[in-house]
Amino acid sequence: MAFAGKWQTETQEGYDEFCKVLGIPDDIIEKGRDYKLITEVTQDGNDFTWTQLYPADAKVTNKFTVGKECDMETIGGKKFKATVNMEGAALTATFPNYHHTSEICCGKLVETSKAGSVVLKRTSKKI
């Protein structure tokens, strides 16, 4: 239940490079660069609802059960199938263009996304 709660971005590293690798347009990168992303997580055992609130009232909600394939969606509206796994205390998933890991470290939500050698690391505090 460590992931449950509402989180707000505190710091992020590698944002611009990561977005460019994914092909996100420069104007969208600019809008999101300093945005304090809100992530809301509910957890019931291995069942999760993971919602991210983006600028301009955009939001993406994905529901998944650890270890079971599910339907997921990206902020760009791309739908795909993925399996979220638990590796130690970290949740991991492979998206179409990158690999994503979420874990709780020192009371913070730390999300790391890797696309080849480019890494985005976002740290969020509980609010």
Q: Where are the alpha helices (DSSP H) in the chain?
A: 15-21, 26-33
**pTM of the predicted structure, to 2 decimals:** 0.88
Number of Cβ within 10 Å of residue 113's Cβ equals 21
Q: Is 126 within 8 Å of 7 (Cβ atoms)?
A: yes
Distance between terminal CA atoms of the chain?
Answer: 16
For β-strands 47-53 and 108-115, DSSP reports them as unpaired
At 97 the pLDDT is 81
At 107 the pLDDT is 95
Cα–Cα distance, 120 to 114 (Å, whole number): 7
Instruction: Report which of 56, 106, 64, 98 is spatially closest to residue 83, judged by C-alpha positions.
Output: 64
At 65 the pLDDT is 97
Helix, strand, coil % over all residues of the chain, rounded to 5: 15, 55, 30
* Token pair recorded at residue 16: 């611009």
At 24 the pLDDT is 84
At 79 the pLDDT is 87
At 43 the pLDDT is 94
At 71 the pLDDT is 94
The parts of the chain modelled with pLDDT lower than 50 are none
Q: Which CATH class is domain 5-126?
A: mainly beta
